[in-house]
Structure 1
Protein backbone atom coordinates (compact mmCIF):
# COMPACT_ATOMS: atom_id res chain seq x y z
CA UNK A 1 0.00 0.00 0.00
CA UNK A 2 1.52 3.33 -0.96
CA UNK A 3 1.86 6.28 1.40
CA UNK A 4 -1.01 8.29 -0.06
CA UNK A 5 -3.43 5.37 0.28
CA UNK A 6 -2.31 4.81 3.87
CA UNK A 7 -2.91 8.43 4.84
CA UNK A 8 -6.34 8.70 3.23
CA UNK A 9 -9.10 7.77 5.63
CA UNK A 10 -6.86 6.75 8.50
CA UNK A 11 -8.69 8.91 11.05
CA UNK A 12 -10.07 5.73 12.58
CA UNK A 13 -6.56 4.36 12.96
CA UNK A 14 -5.45 7.54 14.69
CA UNK A 15 -8.49 7.29 16.97
CA UNK A 16 -7.48 3.73 17.85
CA UNK A 17 -3.94 4.94 18.48
CA UNK A 18 -5.26 7.59 20.87
CA UNK A 19 -7.29 4.91 22.69
CA UNK A 20 -4.22 2.68 22.87
CA UNK A 21 -2.29 5.62 24.31
CA UNK A 22 -4.98 6.27 26.94
CA UNK A 23 -4.98 2.59 27.89
CA UNK A 24 -1.17 2.70 28.08
CA UNK A 25 -1.45 5.52 30.61
CA UNK A 26 -3.94 3.44 32.58
CA UNK A 27 -1.60 0.47 32.41
CA UNK A 28 1.41 2.44 33.66
CA UNK A 29 -0.57 3.98 36.51
CA UNK A 30 -2.08 0.60 37.45
CA UNK A 31 1.33 -1.05 37.55
CA UNK A 32 2.54 1.76 39.81
CA UNK A 33 -0.51 1.47 42.03
CA UNK A 34 -0.22 -2.32 42.23
CA UNK A 35 3.02 -2.00 44.22
CA UNK A 36 4.78 -4.82 42.34
CA UNK A 37 1.49 -6.66 41.76
CA UNK A 38 0.80 -7.12 45.47
CA UNK A 39 -2.56 -5.28 45.42
CA UNK A 40 -5.11 -7.44 43.56
CA UNK A 41 -7.45 -4.69 42.33
CA UNK A 42 -4.63 -2.63 40.84
CA UNK A 43 -3.03 -5.78 39.40
CA UNK A 44 -6.24 -6.82 37.65
CA UNK A 45 -6.64 -3.30 36.27
CA UNK A 46 -3.06 -3.45 34.96
CA UNK A 47 -3.73 -6.70 33.09
CA UNK A 48 -6.95 -5.33 31.58
CA UNK A 49 -5.28 -2.07 30.50
CA UNK A 50 -2.34 -4.03 29.08
CA UNK A 51 -4.59 -6.20 26.92
CA UNK A 52 -6.60 -3.18 25.74
CA UNK A 53 -3.52 -1.18 24.82
CA UNK A 54 -2.08 -4.12 22.86
CA UNK A 55 -5.33 -4.67 20.97
CA UNK A 56 -5.85 -1.03 20.01
CA UNK A 57 -2.17 -0.47 19.19
CA UNK A 58 -2.09 -3.50 16.90
CA UNK A 59 -5.30 -2.38 15.19
CA UNK A 60 -3.93 1.13 14.64
CA UNK A 61 -0.64 -0.19 13.24
CA UNK A 62 -2.49 -1.94 10.42
CA UNK A 63 -2.77 1.50 8.81
CA UNK A 64 -0.23 3.77 10.51
CA UNK A 65 3.45 3.10 9.87
CA UNK A 66 4.89 1.24 12.84
CA UNK A 67 7.69 3.74 13.48
CA UNK A 68 5.30 6.70 13.63
CA UNK A 69 2.56 4.84 15.51
CA UNK A 70 4.87 3.40 18.12
CA UNK A 71 6.60 6.74 18.71
CA UNK A 72 3.27 8.52 19.18
CA UNK A 73 1.91 5.77 21.44
CA UNK A 74 5.04 5.68 23.59
CA UNK A 75 5.26 9.49 23.75
CA UNK A 76 1.66 9.98 24.82
CA UNK A 77 1.93 7.09 27.28
CA UNK A 78 5.10 8.50 28.81
CA UNK A 79 3.79 12.03 29.14
CA UNK A 80 0.42 10.89 30.43
CA UNK A 81 1.93 8.53 32.99
CA UNK A 82 4.26 11.26 34.25
CA UNK A 83 1.55 13.92 34.49
CA UNK A 84 -1.20 11.74 35.94
CA UNK A 85 1.30 9.93 38.17
CA UNK A 86 2.21 13.23 39.77
CA UNK A 87 -1.45 13.87 40.63
CA UNK A 88 -2.75 10.39 41.41
CA UNK A 89 0.31 8.64 42.83
CA UNK A 90 2.07 11.65 44.39
CA UNK A 91 5.15 11.16 42.20
CA UNK A 92 7.36 14.25 41.88
CA UNK A 93 7.40 16.19 38.60
CA UNK A 94 10.11 18.84 38.41
CA UNK A 95 10.15 21.85 36.13
CA UNK A 96 12.93 20.41 33.97
CA UNK A 97 11.00 17.15 33.60
CA UNK A 98 7.93 19.15 32.54
CA UNK A 99 10.03 20.97 29.93
CA UNK A 100 11.26 17.70 28.42
CA UNK A 101 7.76 16.26 28.51
CA UNK A 102 6.74 19.33 26.48
CA UNK A 103 9.43 18.43 23.95
CA UNK A 104 7.92 14.94 23.67
CA UNK A 105 4.47 16.45 23.10
CA UNK A 106 5.87 18.72 20.37
CA UNK A 107 7.47 15.69 18.73
CA UNK A 108 4.19 13.76 18.80
CA UNK A 109 2.37 16.70 17.19
CA UNK A 110 5.01 16.97 14.45
CA UNK A 111 4.81 13.22 13.79
CA UNK A 112 1.03 13.48 13.37
CA UNK A 113 1.42 16.46 11.06
CA UNK A 114 4.00 14.55 9.02
CA UNK A 115 1.38 11.83 8.44
CA UNK A 116 -1.18 14.27 6.99
CA UNK A 117 -2.38 13.70 3.40
CA UNK A 118 -1.45 17.26 2.34
CA UNK A 119 2.20 16.78 3.32
CA UNK A 120 2.33 13.32 1.74
CA UNK A 121 0.99 14.71 -1.54
CA UNK A 122 3.64 17.44 -1.69
CA UNK A 123 6.55 15.12 -0.92
Structure 2
Protein backbone atom coordinates (compact mmCIF):
# COMPACT_ATOMS: atom_id res chain seq x y z
CA UNK A 1 0.00 0.00 0.00
CA UNK A 2 2.84 2.44 0.80
CA UNK A 3 4.28 1.96 -2.69
CA UNK A 4 0.95 2.99 -4.19
CA UNK A 5 0.90 6.20 -2.16
CA UNK A 6 4.49 7.04 -3.14
CA UNK A 7 3.66 6.49 -6.80
CA UNK A 8 0.55 8.64 -6.35
CA UNK A 9 2.71 11.41 -4.90
CA UNK A 10 5.01 11.13 -7.92
CA UNK A 11 1.97 11.27 -10.21
CA UNK A 12 0.94 14.47 -8.43
CA UNK A 13 4.37 15.98 -9.04
CA UNK A 14 4.09 15.08 -12.71
CA UNK A 15 0.62 16.66 -12.73
CA UNK A 16 2.08 19.92 -11.43
CA UNK A 17 4.69 19.78 -14.20
CA UNK A 18 1.95 19.16 -16.73
CA UNK A 19 -0.18 22.07 -15.53
CA UNK A 20 2.75 24.49 -15.52
CA UNK A 21 4.02 23.40 -18.92
CA UNK A 22 0.54 23.69 -20.45
CA UNK A 23 0.40 27.26 -19.14
CA UNK A 24 3.84 27.92 -20.60
CA UNK A 25 2.82 26.47 -23.96
CA UNK A 26 0.31 29.32 -24.48
CA UNK A 27 -2.34 27.08 -25.99
CA UNK A 28 0.26 24.69 -27.43
CA UNK A 29 1.67 27.47 -29.61
CA UNK A 30 5.21 27.14 -28.19
CA UNK A 31 6.81 23.90 -29.33
CA UNK A 32 9.28 23.35 -26.49
CA UNK A 33 6.68 23.87 -23.74
CA UNK A 34 4.20 21.75 -25.70
CA UNK A 35 6.62 18.82 -25.93
CA UNK A 36 7.32 19.06 -22.20
CA UNK A 37 3.56 19.18 -21.50
CA UNK A 38 2.93 16.01 -23.51
CA UNK A 39 5.79 14.28 -21.67
CA UNK A 40 4.42 15.23 -18.25
CA UNK A 41 0.91 14.25 -19.37
CA UNK A 42 2.05 10.74 -20.26
CA UNK A 43 4.10 10.41 -17.07
CA UNK A 44 1.26 11.57 -14.81
CA UNK A 45 -1.28 9.25 -16.40
CA UNK A 46 1.09 6.29 -16.21
CA UNK A 47 1.99 6.93 -12.57
CA UNK A 48 -1.66 7.50 -11.66
CA UNK A 49 -2.69 4.24 -13.30
CA UNK A 50 0.02 2.35 -11.38
CA UNK A 51 -1.03 3.97 -8.09
CA UNK A 52 -4.69 3.10 -8.66
CA UNK A 53 -3.82 -0.60 -8.64
CA UNK A 54 -3.66 -0.39 -4.85
CA UNK A 55 -5.64 2.77 -4.00
CA UNK A 56 -9.38 3.29 -4.46
CA UNK A 57 -10.01 5.37 -7.56
CA UNK A 58 -12.10 8.01 -5.76
CA UNK A 59 -9.46 8.59 -3.10
CA UNK A 60 -6.54 8.37 -5.52
CA UNK A 61 -8.03 10.74 -8.06
CA UNK A 62 -8.96 13.30 -5.41
CA UNK A 63 -5.47 13.24 -3.91
CA UNK A 64 -3.83 13.44 -7.36
CA UNK A 65 -6.01 16.37 -8.41
CA UNK A 66 -5.42 18.10 -5.06
CA UNK A 67 -1.65 17.80 -5.39
CA UNK A 68 -1.87 19.17 -8.92
CA UNK A 69 -4.10 22.08 -7.97
CA UNK A 70 -2.08 23.10 -4.92
CA UNK A 71 1.26 22.66 -6.67
CA UNK A 72 0.20 24.67 -9.71
CA UNK A 73 -1.28 27.42 -7.54
CA UNK A 74 1.89 27.67 -5.44
CA UNK A 75 4.31 27.54 -8.37
CA UNK A 76 2.26 29.63 -10.83
CA UNK A 77 3.47 32.88 -9.22
CA UNK A 78 7.06 31.61 -9.35
CA UNK A 79 7.07 30.89 -13.09
CA UNK A 80 4.33 33.16 -14.41
CA UNK A 81 2.83 36.52 -13.52
CA UNK A 82 0.16 35.04 -11.27
CA UNK A 83 -0.79 36.08 -7.76
CA UNK A 84 -1.26 34.15 -4.55
CA UNK A 85 -3.49 36.06 -2.16
CA UNK A 86 -4.23 35.24 1.46
CA UNK A 87 -7.71 34.05 0.46
CA UNK A 88 -6.28 31.72 -2.20
CA UNK A 89 -3.75 30.42 0.33
CA UNK A 90 -6.58 29.71 2.77
CA UNK A 91 -8.51 27.65 0.23
CA UNK A 92 -5.33 25.82 -0.77
CA UNK A 93 -4.92 24.93 2.92
CA UNK A 94 -8.47 23.56 2.87
CA UNK A 95 -7.55 21.37 -0.12
CA UNK A 96 -4.41 20.14 1.66
CA UNK A 97 -6.45 19.38 4.78
CA UNK A 98 -8.93 17.41 2.68
CA UNK A 99 -6.14 15.40 1.07
CA UNK A 100 -4.66 14.59 4.49
CA UNK A 101 -8.06 13.47 5.82
CA UNK A 102 -8.60 11.32 2.73
CA UNK A 103 -5.28 9.60 3.38
CA UNK A 104 -6.15 9.12 7.04
CA UNK A 105 -9.54 7.67 6.12
CA UNK A 106 -7.78 5.12 3.92
CA UNK A 107 -5.62 3.91 6.83
CA UNK A 108 -6.52 0.73 8.63
CA UNK A 109 -8.57 1.22 11.77
CA UNK A 110 -8.19 -0.84 14.96
CA UNK A 111 -10.96 -3.23 13.91
CA UNK A 112 -9.14 -3.96 10.62
CA UNK A 113 -5.91 -4.70 12.47
CA UNK A 114 -7.68 -6.98 14.96
CA UNK A 115 -9.14 -9.02 12.08
CA UNK A 116 -5.78 -9.50 10.40
CA UNK A 117 -5.94 -6.55 8.13
TM-score by length of structure 1 reads: 0.88
Any idea what the Cα deviations from partners look like across 1:57-80, whole Å, max 9, x if unmatched?
011011100000000000110000
Which one is further off, 44-53 or 34-43? Answer: 34-43
Question: In the alignment, is residue 80 of structure 1 matched against residue 71 of structure 2?
Answer: yes
Cα-Cα RMSD = 1.3
Q: Conserved in 2, the CA contact under 8 Å of 1:114 and 1:120?
A: no
Deviation readout 1:30-82 (Å, 9 max, x if unpaired): 00001111111100000000000000001101110000000000011000000
Specify whether residues 75 and 119 from structure 1 end up closer, same or farther in structure 2 by C-alpha distance, changes over 3 A only. Answer: farther
Provide the TM-score with structure 2 as the length reference. Answer: 0.92
Separation (CA, whole Å) in 2 of partners of 1:86 and 1:62: 34
Ranges in structure 2 where 5+ consecutive residues have no aligned partner: none
SS in 1 for 2:38: helix
Question: Which structure ranks higher in relative contact order (CA pairs < 8 Å, sequence separation ≥ 6)?
Answer: 1
Instruction: Name the CA shift for 1:31/1:100 in 2 (closer, same or farther; >3 Å).
Output: same
